[in-house]
Amino acid sequence: MLVGHEVSTVQRSGWTGVKNGKLLGLAASEFDVFLTMDGNLEFQQNISTLPIAVLVIEAVSNRMEHLVPLLPGILRELGQIPPKSLRKVGA
The domain spans of the chain are 10-90
pLDDT of residue 50: 84
Strand ordering across the sheet containing 33-36: 33-36, 53-58, 86-90
Residue 50 contacts residue 20 (beta carbons within 8 Å): no
Position 20 confidence tier, pLDDT thresholds 50, 70, 90: confident
Q: Which among 8, 55, 2, 3 has a CA at the least distance from the CA of 30? A: 8
Position 4 confidence tier, pLDDT thresholds 50, 70, 90: confident
pLDDT tens for 35-81 read 999 989 888 888 888 889 999 999 999 999 999 999 999 999 999 99
Residue 69 contacts residue 90 (beta carbons within 8 Å): no
Q: What are phi and psi of 88, to 5 degrees?
A: -125, 145
pTM of the model: 0.91
Quick one: average pLDDT of 15-35?
91
